[in-house]
Amino acid sequence: MEISYKEEYVSMKLLLNLVYKDFKRNKVITITLTFFLMISTLFMAGGLRVTGTIISSMKGLNELAIPPQYLQMHKGDYDENVFKGFVENHEYINDSIIVKMLDIRNANIIYQGETLENSLMDNGFVIQNEGFDFLLNMNNDIVVVKEGEIGVPVYYAEDIGIQVGDTITLHEGNYTKNLRVSTIIRDSSMNAALTSSKRFLINQTDLDEISGHMGEWEYLFEFILEEGTSTAILEKDYIDANMPSNGVAITGSQLSIMNNLSHGLIALIIIAISILLIMIAVLCLSYIIKATLADENHTIGEMKAIGFPNKAIEKLYQMKYIVLVLIASVVGYMAAIPFGDFFSSSAVMYCGNGTDEWMKWIFPLIGVILLSIIVIFRCKKTIYKNLRSSVVELLKGNDRIKKEGHYSLPIAGLRHGNLSIALGELKCKWKEYVVIFFVFIFSSFLILLPMNMKNTVENPSFMTYMGVGESDIRIDIQYTDKLIEQKDAAISYLEGDPEIAKYAIYQNSYVELQNSDGEWEYLRVENGDGSIFPLEYIEGGAPKDTEEIALSYLNASELGKDVGDHITVSYGGEELLFTVSGIYQDITYGGKTAKANIDFEDKDVEVYIIYLDVMDGVDIEEKTLELRSILTDSKITPISKFVSQTLGGITDNLSVISGAAIVISLVLVMLITVMILRLITAREHSAIAIKKSIGFSNKDIRIQFAIRILLIQFVAIVVGTLLANTIGEVILGMILSFMGASEIQMLVEPIKSYLLSPAAQLFLVFITVIVGSKVVKGYHIRGQIME
Amino acid sequence: MIRVEEISKSFKDTKVLHEVSFDINRGDFVAIMGPSGSGKSTLLYSISGMDNINSGRVLFEGTNICEMKEEELSDFRLSKMGFVFQNPQMLKNLSVFDNIILPGLVAKKESAEEIRKRGSELMKRMEIEEIKSRDNSQVSGGQLQRASICRAMINNPEILFLDEPTGALNSEATDQVLKIVGRLNEDGMTIMTVTHDKRVAAKARKVLYIIDGQIAACKEFSVDTDREVELDEWLKGLQIIA
């Protein structure tokens, strides 16, 4: 029989009316459930919005800026004709440029009265490029600045708040040059905080003038290749041709990784959290549906008995949850807009909105639709399964009769009555607490994971993942004509300073190495006494003689080398055979470094790095300032700042994530406690009445509920803590393994992790139970017994 | 022992009890009868402290239980009185025996051993020893009701309140419960019960008849009469068919 539209409309209206009444009756549970669903949707949609924004932003920046696919830095002389010849002879090179960059020491760059000495960045001054690798303004237009003006990297706009209209002063000796900030620059090659160089854009006239008074020239040899050409081919040919290469070489994919890590990590984490939240929301939903259906067994039995078709009953219950999911989806999607924009603001600032802005609208929409489908499908399945009982079974309440089992009162009596009863009942009813148990585990895990990650990364011992043992201060003496004099001056000063406990100096240069494919590529090698600041090795140890070499983890992996294997490198036209003595972790320089006792020639040294420890009681910050005033040609950085700047956005993001995780977790913990408490007190209303009738007070009953829930939570916190320490370590290792650190030991701050965090969670739940169980007071014996 | 002074109770706008007053002396056995909806159970719950009243006083040994704090009321329910519901109300996660001794263990007025001993004795007296370790779902209604009486007795209460104790029982179980209730009163227990059943009421020495929330009539039996017959006549005299 066909149903008319009018009948369908009336039936829908009736259903919605019933749903509305049901919501009113179970306000707390409905609100809590809706909130759960909204939070899940918010995170899912928010994470996808961030993802869409980042993809669009980075794609847009790369499309407009056209970053190089291969970039070789070099200081010192080079023959331009040789370079041109190289380009002409290699047809796979589509385009090339030589970027002349004037490196100016941070001590000579002044903003608002402060130099940039605290910055780890190497700062270079360039004019706009031609052909590719364009520097863009905040509208992603190729920008050219006028005389007297300067374009400042967006990194500094974010880090120290430089704005258009501000003044940057370059000063050395008697020379001073003021430049007005006319634009903020987006640099597709050097945008990311993880890249250690930054470029300022100035006018040719200004560049000519400034170079006459300060700075050292550095050259960036940049290439765009024909489609399909591997950068490894170029790298090999470049080395074979003995092209200028005493600096870092970076491929386009490495640049991409650094950008992705800087901006993509947060999206990854938000989506990971959303997946967990969705799982919890679905678990909660299933539990609530089963609990509600169990409570309404009798009603459903009566409906079936008087002839209601199963489909109609299913529809009634499904409608309830469909309405909830729809509300949550709409609210979650809308709330994800500012949420996602907040977390992607950094990416937008660095890269712009991009050319595919539709992604930030469509990705979350798809996510929300998928989520809704999953949730509704889950609801349907649970409802269908629970409605299959026969009329008699429903009327008898056989579901309830399913044995919970029983517990025995202690033979010795009830010394701690409420505790004994709470434990006994928990033993019988543990299944009802599975959902809350998992939520508590998840919350504990969520609070601890970013907290522990942050603690690990901020710990001084994290230095060991940067290829060097723990130390207090680092001094970089970059290549210049006066490199040796600067180095000698530094050593001479350190030798005579009684506040210096110990120091070690390391040469850094490049050798050539044959990789596993037989191709030659550059290998960055550090030469120095590894015993002064000993490094933790994953395997083996430091090289002891001139025939041993230690490799970073990424290098060892890619070369397929283990301790004891041999490796041939080429330096100064000579082939040197080494035995791998050890493998260590290093996230600097793309994770690919080595240590060997190769005495490099002065002209080949890219940088001298000195690590030092100060005496006990000496303030590291003060010592740093003192050293900067004396060793004015060197870059001097406290190690703590070095680590945080090297990791760039990761540590900042971890702080935000850690704070957000604590808030989310505590809110979750509170919500689930309220919800479960409401459900359980409703289900046990008759037991509550019985207990009251035989002499238990309201206080006793509330204490029993509190014991049950707090005990569950305590166990969950222990489990969550174990998971955070174990799985957390794996997750952190996975994130940092891309950068070169494969075996991270999670460093836990015991007081925060093992005392404050559990105490905060337990306390919150305790308060929630006290407030939430007040409803027990309103249960009148007669009313509950009569029901 | 209990003095009820002009207690009134309303549910929403409906007055269920209207200025009811009476006394219960130690050792009394009082039955409350009346038509459905007359307020019998409400009266029982109100004077046993299981429900609130809107006005009036219920004095138990001079103390107004309506003004008792929640902790005092709990203690009253635990130690001074026992309550038996129409449908046996047991905690389903405890065995029958543990249900019976639970109030005793909670009260902690005696050792656990003594409580367990008394629980066993009560079960023996009620002839339900064999169901000691069983679940509630494994025993009959009559056995469970007797277990409820045991639980109500475990702390040697001063008064026993029974709400339709035989209402949910078959005739055999009813007889068993009747026998027990009668014996309890003979042993000195003060009992107040709500009942439709003339056989139960006939066990009592005083019957209060309630109509529309007020005591319409009161009957006190003398010792040697055939109470069932006398009750029947009295009820007929009230033009009520019980």
pLDDT at A164 > cutoff 90: yes
Judged on CB neighbours under 10 Å (0-12, 13-18, 19+), A232 is middle
- Alpha-carbon gap, residue A506 to A525, rounded angstroms: 10
The pLDDT score that the predictor gives to residue A381 is 82
- Rounded to a whole number of angstroms, the distance from the CA of A28 to the nearest CA of chain B is 25
**Closest-CA residue in chain A for B11?**
A783
Chain position carrying tokens 């640099």: A187
Spell out which residues of chain A touch residue B135, defining contact as CB-CB under 8 Å: 403, 406
Q: What is the DSSP string of A366-435?
A: HHHHHHHHHHHHHHHHHHHHHT-S-HHHHHHTHHHHS--------TT--TTHHHHHHHHHHHHHGGGGHH
More confident residue, B179 or A304: B179
Give the chain A residue whose CA is nearest to the CA of B100. Answer: A694
Range with lowest mean pLDDT among A303-312, A436-445, A582-591, B231-240: A303-312
- Of A102-116, A169-183, A252-266, A556-570, the range with the lowest mean pLDDT is A252-266
CB contacts < 8 A (A, B): 92
Determine the Cα–Cα distance for residues A125 and A142; give it in Å rounded to an integer: 16
Calculate the dihedral angle through the C-alpha atoms of A616, A621, A623, A629, rounding to the nearest 10 degrees: 180
Look-up: residue for tokens 């970076």? A250
Residues listed for chain A: 787
DSSP A590: G
pLDDT in tens, A761-785: 999 999 999 998 888 888 778 776 6
Is residue A543 very low, low, confident or very high in pLDDT (cuts 50, 70, 90)? very high
Q: Which of B75, B89, B112 sits opposite A413 (nearest CB)?
A: B112
A718 token code pair: 């222990």
Look over chain A and give the mean of its residue pLDDT values, rounded to a whole number: 85
> Of A138-152, A414-428, A477-491, A575-589, where does mean pLDDT reach its minimum?
A477-491
Q: How far apart are CA A737 and CA A297, in angstroms?
A: 54
Strand B214-220 versus strand B206-211 pairing type: antiparallel
Cross-chain Cβ contact A413/B95 below 8 Å: no
Cα distances (angstroms) measured from residue B188 to each of A651, B157, B179: 80, 11, 15
- Calculate ∠ Cα A544-A549-A555, nearest 5°: 150
Q: Which of B47, B65, B92 to mutate to test the interface with A (most CBs of A within 10 A)?
A: B92
Distance from CA of A784 to the nearest CA of B (A): 11
Nearest to A765 by CA among A721, A719, A707, A723: A707
SS3 (DSSP) at A248: coil
Statement: residue A398 has pLDDT above 60: no
In 10 A of CB A205, how many CB atoms? 12
Pairing of strands A566-571, A574-584: antiparallel
Round to whole Å and give the CA distance between A764 and A439.
14
As a whole number, mean pLDDT of residues A281-303 equals 71
Per the DSSP assignment, residues forming a β-bridge with A613 are A502
* Residue A372 or A652, more confident: A372
DSSP code of residue A515:
-
Note whether A431 contacts B: Cβ–Cβ < 8 A. Answer: no
CA distance A709 to chain B (A): 18
Tens digits of residue pLDDT in B164-173: 888 877 788 7
DSSP state of A776: G
Looking at residue A766, its pLDDT comes to 93
Note the pLDDT tens digit of each residue in A686-710: 899 999 999 999 999 999 999 999 9
How many percent of chain A have pLDDT more than 70? 93
Determine the Cα angle at A140 with ends A136 and A142, to 5°: 45
Give the Cα separation of A766 and A536 in Å (integer). 44
At B236, which amino acid appears?
K
Do the chains contact at A696 and B107, CB–CB below 8 Å? Answer: no
Give the per-residue pLDDT at A361: 95
Nearest neighbour of A401 by CB, restricted to B98, B103, B137: B137
| A1 contacts chain B (CB < 8 A) | no
Angle (CA) A530-A535-A536 rounded to 5° is 145
Residue B136 is classified by DSSP as: G
- Tokens standing for B52? 């609130």
DSSP sequence for B107-175: HTSS-HHHHHHHHHHHHHHTT-GGGTT--GGGS-HHHHHHHHHHHHHTT--SEEEEESTTTT--HHHHH
Q: Provide the shortest C-alpha distance from residue B56 to chain A (in Å).
A: 19
* Angstrom distances, CA of residue A638 to CA of A107, A473, A499, A626, A745: 15, 4, 15, 12, 23
Read off the pLDDT of each residue in A526-539 and give the average, rounded to a whole number: 88
Biggest CA-to-CA distance, chain A: 102
Kind and range of the H or E element at A184?
A: strand A175-187
Tens digits of per-residue pLDDT, A491-510?
A: 999 999 999 999 999 998 88
User: Dihedral, CA atoms, A445, A449, A455, A457, nearest 10 degrees?
Assistant: 170
pLDDT of residue A24: 77
- Which of B44, B93, B101 is best to mutate for the A interface (most A CBs within 10 A)? B93
Distances from the Cα of A309 to the Cα of A8, A302, A490, angstroms: 16, 12, 90
d(CA B225, CA B217): 19
Mapping DSSP to helix (H, G, I), strand (E, B) and coil, where does residue B35 land? coil
C-alpha B224, offset from chain centre: 24
pLDDT exceeds 80 at position A251: yes
Nearest Cα of chain A lies from the Cα of B172 at a distance, in angstroms, of: 24
Of the pLDDT bands very low, low, confident and very high (cuts 50, 70, 90), residue A756 is very high
Distance of CA A316 to the CA centre of its chain: 43
Q: What is the Rg, in whole angstroms, of the alpha carbon atoms belonging to chain A?
A: 33
pLDDT for residue B242: 44
Is A708 an 8 Å CB contact of chain B? no
- pLDDT, one tens digit per residue, over A582-591 is 999 887 777 7
User: Which of A24-33, A710-719, B22-31 bottoms out in mean pLDDT, i.e. has the lowest?
Assistant: A24-33
User: What confidence tens digit (pLDDT) does each residue in A15-62 have?
Assistant: 677 777 777 777 777 887 888 888 888 888 988 898 899 889 988 998
Cα within 13 Å of Cα(B36), Cβ side: 1
At a CB cut-off of 8 Å and minimum separation 6, what does A526 contact?
A467, A506, A507, A508, A593, A594, A595, A596, A609
Q: What confidence category does residue A395 fall into, taking pLDDT thresholds of 50, 70 and 90? A: low
What letter represents residue B115's amino acid?
I
Q: Per residue, what are the HEC states of A445-513? A: HHHHHHHHHHHHHHCHHHHHHECCCCCCEEEEEECCCCHHHHHHHHHHHHHHCCCEEEEEEEEEEEEEE
Mean pLDDT of B95-123: 92
- Contact predicate A443/A666, CB 8 Å: yes
Are B25 and B185 in contact by the 8 Å Cβ rule? The answer is no
Q: Reply yes or no on whether the pLDDT at A401 is more than 50.
A: no
The residue written with tokens 């907040």 in the block is: A342
Contact at CB, A782 and B50, closer than 8 angstroms? yes
Instruction: Summarize pLDDT for A457-500 with one digit per residue, the tens.
Output: 788 777 777 777 788 999 988 777 778 888 999 999 999 999 99
Residue found by looking up tokens 């395997």 in the block? A539
Tell me the whole-structure pTM to 2 decimals. 0.78
A452, A745 Cβ separation under 8 angstroms: no
Q: Which residues contact A573 (CB under 8 A, 6 or more apart)?
A: none
Q: Which residues contact A244 (CB under 8 A, 6 or more apart)?
A: A72, A74, A76, A77, A78, A83, A219, A221
Say whether A691 and B91 touch across the interface (CB within 8 A): yes
